[in-house]
Each structure stands twice: as C-alpha cells, then as structure tokens.
Chains A and B, each alone.
Chain A
C-alpha cells in the first residue's frame, strides 16, 4: 500500500515556464512534507519542506502548496531552468509519533527543454 504517490513518472516543460509536480498521500498522520531533487549518479538533496500547519512555503523559484483536506501537495518551479532537470521525490513524515522516518514517493522525472 503506497502511502505517498507521485502519479506522473515524467514531466516535460519549456525553459521559462512553470513546472508543477504533484504528490498525494493517504496517511492522515503525516504532518511534515519534503521535496528532494536527485541528479543522476548523485544522492538526493533536500529542496523545500512544509509543515501541515501551513498551506504554502516559498523559497526563491520553488513553492510548495499543501491541501490537507485533499491530502495533496504540489511543487511549483517558476521559472523553470534546464538545470532543474532531475528526478523529484516527494516525502512525508509523521513527526508527532516521534518518528524520524520518511516515506518517499516513486519520483517524477522533470525535463526542462531549452
């Protein structure tokens, strides 16, 4: 049973346009969400996070939106750049349970075309 779902395996956008990556979760105990970016042959790197007490968090070109009622979050990248081409993983944690574990989605491969 997949608790964190990224239903789009891939996404292709033009440079300068907006990239929207989506993530759904099923476990209502999740209260902290993170996005990681991964380049080939490298480890994932933390990109941005959001607590369940917020519905938006912004960091430069990256914004994460959280819709708790829909159990849905999205990552917006504006404007998209070729260097953003990578696999993006959504991850969730149930921090109130004292867990430091993350549950990851399967990832979405973003390609930004020049």
Chain B
C-alpha cells in the first residue's frame, strides 16, 4: 500500500533550468493537488486537478506547469526555475466529496527544492 509518493525528495538546481517534480498515488483518487510550503506563508495551492486531463490554477500558479495524462500521476514542472521557487513542495490527493461532507486530502512526504 504505497499511497502517495513524491520524487525526488531533495533537488538542487540552478536558476533558469527546467525541473519536474513527480507525484504518484495508488488510490485512484480523482483529485490531486500541488502545494508549496514557505516560512510565514503556510501551505499555498499551486495547481489542482479534478481528473485526468482536467487541471486548474490555484493561488500561486505563475512559473509552474502541470499535466495529468493518467489518474495516478500529477507532475509539476518549473519551466525556468527562479530562486523564489525554493520551497518545499507537497502533492496531495482526495476522493470526490459528493453531496455531503468532505473527503480529506492525503499528502505526500514532500520535495525540498533549492534553486541556486
């Protein structure tokens, strides 16, 4: 029962390089999310996806690109990394909530990205 995994766990790159962070979940959850965690800001939503081939912007989408060709994968790409994108990135997934209540999001272990 792997759950939700992220790779790599740590990444150091240089300004201007393209970086892709991977996220994989084994639950067949419909929804997947990307967050960044920065000191003083908590968790901020970058992009999310309701299903394969359906993605939408979150609070801080600039400089990021996502795709979702398969339900289980949701890669996040920094097309030209900047120092301000140094952060810890978390992927999460959840089932669709339906009419009542809310299905909580399950988080991956995170990727610590440093842009030099």
A residues contacting B by CB (< 8 A) are 6, 32, 34, 36, 41-46, 49, 51, 89, 91, 93, 95, 100-107
Mark out the residues of chain B between 41 and 59 whose CB falls within 8 Å of any chain A CB in the assembled complex: 41-45, 48, 50, 58
In the complex, what residues of A have CB within 8 A of residue B41's CB?
A: 106
Cα-based distance from A32 to B58 in the complex (angstroms) = 19
B36 to chain A, nearest CB (A): 11
Say whether, besides A100-B50, A100-B94, A46 and B43 are in contact (CB < 8 Å): no
In the complex, what residues of B have CB within 8 A of residue A43's CB?
A: 4, 90, 92, 107-110
Cα-based distance from A22 to B93 in the complex (angstroms) = 26
A47 to chain B, nearest CB (A): 9
In the complex, what residues of B have CB within 8 A of residue A107's CB?
A: 42-43
Once the chains bind, are A100 and B48 in contact (CB under 8 Å)?
Answer: yes
Number of B residues with CB within 8 Å of any CB on chain A = 28
In the complex, what residues of B have CB within 8 A of residue A93's CB?
A: 102
B residues contacting A by CB (< 8 A) are 4, 31, 33, 35, 40-45, 48, 50, 58, 90, 92, 94, 96-97, 101-110
Cα-based distance from A61 to B43 in the complex (angstroms) = 25
A22 to chain B, nearest CB (A): 15
Once the chains bind, are B105 and A46 in contact (CB under 8 Å)?
Answer: yes
Cα-based distance from A105 to B44 in the complex (angstroms) = 9
B110 to chain A, nearest CB (A): 5
Once the chains bind, are B101 and A51 in contact (CB under 8 Å)?
Answer: yes
Once the chains bind, are A95 and B102 in contact (CB under 8 Å)?
Answer: yes
Once the chains bind, are A32 and B90 in contact (CB under 8 Å)?
Answer: no
Ordered by A's residue number, 17 sampled pairs between the chains whose C-beta atoms are within 8 Å are A6-B42, A34-B102, A41-B109, A42-B109, A43-B90, A43-B92, A43-B110, A44-B107, A51-B102, A89-B42, A89-B43, A95-B101, A95-B102, A100-B103, A101-B33, A106-B41, A107-B42
Cα-based distance from A95 to B94 in the complex (angstroms) = 14
Once the chains bind, are B58 and A101 in contact (CB under 8 Å)?
Answer: yes
B42 to chain A, nearest CB (A): 4
Cα-based distance from A6 to B42 in the complex (angstroms) = 10
Nearest residue (CB) in A for B31 is: A100
